[in-house]
Structure 1
Amino acid sequence: MNRFEPDPLVDGRWGGLLTAKSAPRRVLLIHEGVAVAQADVVAAGDDLWRVTVALPATVLRDGTQSLLLVADAGGPDASADMALPGSEVLSRLVLLAGRPLEQDLQAEIALIRAELDLLKREFRRLATEG
């Protein structure tokens, strides 16, 4: 299993350090289900790869924007705007800009509450079984 340690977003560039036996053939930045940029991958040591991508201006707008950094086995024949099936999500980046849309924040809170309720149920189930 590959491990990815993300770096902070600096000057419109994002990425991190990937630990893997070999470099992925392609790393894409995905926004709203579409690849918006391709990341650069350079060797950074034994089984280490530095991944960096410039965020395009199109992803910077009011509201909440979710970005995925995805590695896949894409080659010259692969679609430039889509990740291939079986791709690996390396990291996620959520951007809040301008006046956040109330619906975006409510959706995020609802998701967190649902996940917390699921965890509580599982902990209770485990506590009563043992």
Structure 2
Amino acid sequence: MSAYTLTNTRLFEGVWDGVITANKDDGIPPLIEVTLLEKLLEKVSLTPNGENRWILRIPIPTTAIADGVHTFLIREAASGETLDSFSIIAGEAVAEDIRAEMDLLRAELDMLKRAFRRHCVETT
């Protein structure tokens, strides 16, 4: 079992916010590292928010706002355990992927409708 629990609170104005809660009452703040493309992010902040709770703030670097999928991993550095992750998806390539998936879903739905109508005709 993890020593810490991370709860996502929001992503707003380029900053991802979360709350880290310690699962034991030792009051020791976790050592958090956030990586993007296997590189450590700077300017990650952890501020106390009551007993055994901390606010985690991760500013999204402008380099992560680009075509494709960019996944951030949030780990507790001492144990190496991944507490959470989040992704940012953007760009024209993603829109094309979604359109292709929608076309495929429409084709499958049309096929199912034809099969269902055929089944209804054959059983009456």
TM-score by length of 2: 0.64
Aligned to 2:85: 92
Give the structure with the larger helix fraction.
2
Alignment root-mean-square deviation, CA: 2.1
Q: Percent identity?
A: 21
Looking at structure 2, the residues matched to 42 and 54 of structure 1 have their Cα atoms a distance apart, in angstroms, of 14
Aligned with 2:49: secondary structure? Answer: strand
For residue 38 of structure 1, report the CA deviation from its aligned partner.
4.2
Is this contact kept in 2: 1:71–1:88, CA < 8 A?
Answer: yes
For structure 1, which runs of at least 5 residues remain unmatched after alignment?
A: 74-85, 107-130
Name the CA distance, whole Å, in 1 between partners of 2:77 and 2:43: 11
SS in 1 for 2:10: coil
Q: For 2:75 and 2:63, how far apart are their aligned partners in 1?
A: 18
Matches within 5 A, 1:52-67: 52-67=57-72
CA contact (8 A) 1:37 1:56 kept: no
* Structure index of larger Rg: 2
TM-score, structure 1 length as denominator?
0.62
- 1:24 corresponds to which residue? 30
| Distance in 2 of aligned mates of 1:4 and 1:55 | 18
The number of aligned residues is 91
Structure 1 runs of 4+ off > 3 angstroms? none
Unaligned runs of 5+ in 2: 102-124
Partner of 2:122: none
